């Protein structure tokens, strides 16, 4: 079968492309914004990419179109598909029908930490010999790809609450029918499709309703929102982590050594190669979920000690003139705060220069702009790329005083950062997009001793 994917370079749709290719299909796709790591990964897998959404792509005569949720009515290719009455489906529906059926699905849901926790969980299963399939919204370094199909019963999926497609406004995760679920956290996000937190809680409730009686939910005990979700009904086994839960992990003390406990008794310990308290909780959740498929906490901890990280999650992109440049996907104020705090624990008193692009739909709407100064409080200086924002970034960051500067021009931002950076500084770039290749631009500017 020839499958053509609209919006193929999104992290989820790119993973669908890899799974379809591994399942034996011919796969092509198109997108308007092509950037690494997904574009690189797709090309390495031999998947042809078309720039844009021209209607003449119908001449390729695919057997099925898979339509990503970034594609809206008015898109010329989508309109041509509808006018011609050609077969199409959504990514989550195709995944449910062709990949997940009959599998023991382990799903990771939550506002933050889904990619890291999914990667940790998939690696624990892999290191324990279970050879899982997976679909993750990032590229785990232990695997080198974001999606994999295997012939074992186990499949780990990053379960997103964002809507499914133009024709299906339910959250993606209601399609997956998992047996094991991590509910990592839950707060307001996706202001472009959800009016308030209550609307998102309802979608999480719908997910909970799909979990079988012998399934298991691993839920974050520090989140009142998740308590509200589960108080609306829970028909499965339930274990809490953090807060007053059965599963606990020690507070981040800046050291690698981590101890995990269950019902007050130490269950395992390891050196965790991830910084920050949020990552300790991510690891704890993954360890607890792995226990549901028979992996001992000690075995899971051994795997955690060998975890190699995820691309775009506090990923060191290079060092120039003694300055380290990191890349991170953080774009929500909570994620920004935890990422900066994690780096602060790692680097101590060395200066952190935060470079931020508020490009997610929620951030573009300005719904959380007032939370930005607090989320960046542990950074020494902040450089915000404010191009095409519908709100005044300089005014929002004004409480930070001279520590924060805003730029409409990317080259000017690079020049300003390179001008102030010196040996030992840590440049933390945060964006959920390609950010115009700013990482390479910064490293080049630093290497040449200028900002051009």
Query: pLDDT by residue (tens digit) across 97-126?
Result: 999 999 999 999 998 889 999 999 999 999
* Percent of the chain topping pLDDT 70: 97
207 occurs within a structural domain = yes
- Of the pLDDT bands very low, low, confident and very high (cuts 50, 70, 90), residue 341 is confident
**Phi, psi for residue 157 in degrees, rounded to 5:** -130, 135
Instruction: Say what the pLDDT of residue 381 is.
Output: 95
Both structure tokens of 168 = 């299906």
* Number of domains composing the chain: 3
Q: In whole angstroms, what is the distance from residue 320 CA to residue 336 CA?
A: 24
Given a contact cutoff of 8 angstroms between Cβ atoms, the answer to whether 61 and 28 are in contact is: no
Place of tokens 């990032």: 138
Instruction: Say what the pLDDT of residue 44 is.
Output: 86
Q: What share of the chain is helix, strand, coil (3-state, %, to 5)?
A: 35, 25, 40
For 208-233, b where at least 16 C-beta lie within 10 A, e where not — what string? bebbeeebbbbbbbebebbeebbeee
Q: In whole angstroms, what is the distance from residue 182 CA to residue 110 CA?
A: 8
> Given phi > 0 = left and psi -120 to 50 = alpha, else beta, which region is 47?
beta
269 occurs within a structural domain = yes
Instruction: Say what the pLDDT of residue 368 is.
Output: 80
96 occurs within a structural domain = no
Q: Where does 263-340 show beta strands of DSSP type E? A: 265-271, 315-320, 323-328
Q: Which is more confident, 336 or 121? A: 121
294 occurs within a structural domain = yes
**Is 177 in the same domain as 284?**
yes
Q: In whole angstroms, what is the distance from residue 9 CA to residue 11 CA?
A: 6
- Of the pLDDT bands very low, low, confident and very high (cuts 50, 70, 90), residue 37 is low
Mean pLDDT of 248-266: 90
- Find the CATH number of the domain harbouring 365: 3.90.190.20
Q: Where does 60-202 show beta strands of DSSP type E? A: 64-67, 88-90, 104-109, 133-135, 147-148, 154-158, 163-165, 168-171, 180-183
Q: Give the structural domain span for 379.
A: 315-447
How many CA atoms, within 13 angstroms, populate the side-chain half-sphere of residue 227? Answer: 9
Instruction: Say what the pLDDT of residue 303 is.
Output: 97
Instruction: Say what the pLDDT of residue 452 is.
Output: 38
Cβ contacts of 426 within 8 Å, gap of 6 or more: 323, 324, 326, 343, 347, 350, 351, 352, 353
**Is 180 in the same domain as 272?**
yes
79 occurs within a structural domain = yes
Last residue of a domain, one of 70, 91, 112: 91
**Is 422 in the same domain as 375?**
yes
Pure H helices in 96-221: 114-127, 197-209
pTM: 0.80
**Is 151 in the same domain as 293?**
yes
Cβ contacts of 35 within 8 Å, gap of 6 or more: 9, 433, 434, 437
**Is 270 in the same domain as 250?**
yes
- Find the CATH number of the domain harbouring 20: 3.40.50.720
Instruction: Say what the pLDDT of residue 276 is.
Output: 82
318 pairs with which residues across the strands? 325
Mean pLDDT of 127-154: 94
**Is 58 in the same domain as 143?**
no
165 pairs with which residues across the strands? 168
Given a contact cutoff of 8 angstroms between Cβ atoms, the answer to whether 430 and 338 are in contact is: no
Q: In whole angstroms, what is the distance from residue 246 CA to residue 221 CA?
A: 9
- Chain segment 304-330, per-residue pLDDT in tens: 999 988 877 778 899 999 999 999 888
pLDDT at 450 over 70: no
Nearest alpha-carbon partner for 110 in 357, 258, 278: 278
Q: Which is more confident, 173 or 144? A: 173
Place of tokens 């004004």: 398
**Is 297 in the same domain as 168?**
yes
pLDDT at 285 over 80: yes
Nearest alpha-carbon partner for 33 in 65, 13, 9, 57: 9
Mean pLDDT of 47-51: 92
Mean pLDDT of 150-161: 97
Tell me, rounded to whole angstroms, the distance of Cα 188 from its chain centroid.
Answer: 16
Last residue of a domain, one of 249, 271, 304: 304
**DSSP at 213:** T
452 occurs within a structural domain = no
- Find the CATH number of the domain harbouring 217: 3.40.1190.10
262 pairs with which residues across the strands? 247, 265
Instruction: Say what the pLDDT of residue 41 is.
Output: 76
- Of the pLDDT bands very low, low, confident and very high (cuts 50, 70, 90), residue 451 is very low
Instruction: Say what the pLDDT of residue 396 is.
Output: 92
Last residue of a domain, one of 31, 63, 91: 91
**Is 180 in the same domain as 252?**
yes
**Is 257 in the same domain as 363?**
no
For 354-385, b where at least 16 C-beta lie within 10 A, e where not — what string? bbbbbbbbbbeebbbbeebbebbebbbbbbbb
Instruction: Give the SS3 label for residue 92.
Output: helix
97 occurs within a structural domain = no
397 occurs within a structural domain = yes
CA distances from 360 to 259, 356, 388, 393 (A): 35, 11, 12, 14
**Is 239 in the same domain as 149?**
yes
**Is 284 in the same domain as 341?**
no
- Of the pLDDT bands very low, low, confident and very high (cuts 50, 70, 90), residue 251 is confident
Both structure tokens of 199 = 């609307």
Q: Which is more confident, 46 or 323? A: 323
Q: In whole angstroms, what is the distance from residue 333 CA to residue 355 CA?
A: 14
**Is 141 in the same domain as 163?**
yes
């Amino acid at each position: 079968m020839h499958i053509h994917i609209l919006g193929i370079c999104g992290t989820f749709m790119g993973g669908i492309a890899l799974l379809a290719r591994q399942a034996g299909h011919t796969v092509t796709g198109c997108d308007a914004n092509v950037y690494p790591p997904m574009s690189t990964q797709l090309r390495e897998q031999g998947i042809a990419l078309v720039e844009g959404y021209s209607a003449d792509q119908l001449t390729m005569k695919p057997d099925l179109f898979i339509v990503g949720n970034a594609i809206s009515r008015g898109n010329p290719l989508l309109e041509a598909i509808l006018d011609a009455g050609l077969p199409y489906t959504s990514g989550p529906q195709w995944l449910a029908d062709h990949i997940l059926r009959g599998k023991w699905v382990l799903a990771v849901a939550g506002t933050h930490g889904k990619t890291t926790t999914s990667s940790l969980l998939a690696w624990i299963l892999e290191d324990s010999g279970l050879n899982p399939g997976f679909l993750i919204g990032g590229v785990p370094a232990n695997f080198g790809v974001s999606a994999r199909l295997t012939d074992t019963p186990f499949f780990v999926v990053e379960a997103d609450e964002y809507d499914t497609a133009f024709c299906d406004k339910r959250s993606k995760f209601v399609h997956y029918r998992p047996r094991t679920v991590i509910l990592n956290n839950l707060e307001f996000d996706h202001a472009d499709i959800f009016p308030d937190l209550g609307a998102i809680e309802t979608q999480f409730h719908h997910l909970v309703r799909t979990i079988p009686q012998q399934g298991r939910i691993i839920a974050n005990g520090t989140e009142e929102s998740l308590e509200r979700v589960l108080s609306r009904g829970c028909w499965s086994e339930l274990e809490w982590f953090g807060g007053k839960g059965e599963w606990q992990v020690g507070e981040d003390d800046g050291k690698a050594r981590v101890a995990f406990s269950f019902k007050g008794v130490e269950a395992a310990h390891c050196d965790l190669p991830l910084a920050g308290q949020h990552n300790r909780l991510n690891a704890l959740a993954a360890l607890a979920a792995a226990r549901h498929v028979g992996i001992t906490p000690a075995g899971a901890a051994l795997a955690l000690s060998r975890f190699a990280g995820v691309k775009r999650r506090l990923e060191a992109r290079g060092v120039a003139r003694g300055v380290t440049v990191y890349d991170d996907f953080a774009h929500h104020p909570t994620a920004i705060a935890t990422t900066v705090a994690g780096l602060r624990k790692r680097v101590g008193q060395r200066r952190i220069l935060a470079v931020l692009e508020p490009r997610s739909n929620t951030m573009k709407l300005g719904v959380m702009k007032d939370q930005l100064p607090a989320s960046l409080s542990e950074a020494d200086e902040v450089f915000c790329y404010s191009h095409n924002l519908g709100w005044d970034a300089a005014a929002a960051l004004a409480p930070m005083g001279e520590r924060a500067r805003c730029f409409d021009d990317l080259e000017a931002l690079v020049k300003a950062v390179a001008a102030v950076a010196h040996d030992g500084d840590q440049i933390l770039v945060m964006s959920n997009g390609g950010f115009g290749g700013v990482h390479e631009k910064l490293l080049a500017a630093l290497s040449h001793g200028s900002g051009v």
